[in-house]
Amino acid sequence: MIVLVGFMGAGKTTVGRLVAEKLGVPFLDSDLVIEERAGRPIRDIFATDGEPAFRELERQVIAELLAGSPVVLALGGGAAGHPATRELLASAGAEVVFLSVGYEEAMTRVGGDSGRPMLARPDIAEVFRDRQETYSSVATLTVSTDGRAPEAAASDILARVPPSL
């Protein structure tokens, strides 16, 4: 199992797809599984049920995915903030890759995406800063995507993981 963590705009989906393709395993994105499960977009879950409800659904979905067959799994940018998820990551024996990116570049990549409700927070720069330590604490490998092509980040990951998951 390869799990990608990092802030919005770090490239988790783009890099994750490349790695999964090379390894010949499925790519899963916890956000998409949550949306399928809830039958509505994340923006609506935040607006109607609130962030705590989203975080609980996120925790459940990730616990299920980590218990499943080996895949490349991208987690939403806030997922590693949940202590239960951090414990599961540690016990799952997964390669946890922190895709690191600078704040400016992350914001340029995601722009004002209305599908990402966290971007509307006035303290988003602080959220970014606070999360860096969390990402590092769960990571078994850190790969920068700042100013780099997704293919370069993908090859850094592939150089580190065994050919079979």
Position closest to ligand S3P via CB: 76
- In whole angstroms, the minimum distance from the beta carbon of 163 to ligand S3P comes to 27
Bridge partners for 98 per DSSP: 5, 142
Angstrom distance (rounded) from CA 42 to CA 38: 9
Residue type, 41: P
Angstrom distance (rounded) from CA 14 to CA 91: 26
- In whole angstroms, the minimum distance from the beta carbon of 34 to ligand S3P comes to 7
Nearer residue to ligand S3P within complex by CB, 23 or 77: 77
- In whole angstroms, the minimum distance from the beta carbon of 152 to ligand S3P comes to 20
Nearer residue to ligand S3P within complex by CB, 51 or 148: 51
Nearer residue to ligand S3P within complex by CB, 6 or 23: 6
Nearer residue to ligand S3P within complex by CB, 57 or 162: 57
In degrees rounded to 5, what are phi and psi of residue 141? -155, 135
- In whole angstroms, the minimum distance from the beta carbon of 144 to ligand S3P comes to 17
Residues at the interface with ligand S3P (CB under 6 A): 8, 12, 31, 42, 76-78, 116-118
Please, which residues have CB within 8 angstroms of residue 98's CB and are 6 or more apart in sequence? Answer: 5, 6, 135, 136, 138, 139, 141, 142, 143
Angstrom distance (rounded) from CA 74 to CA 8: 11
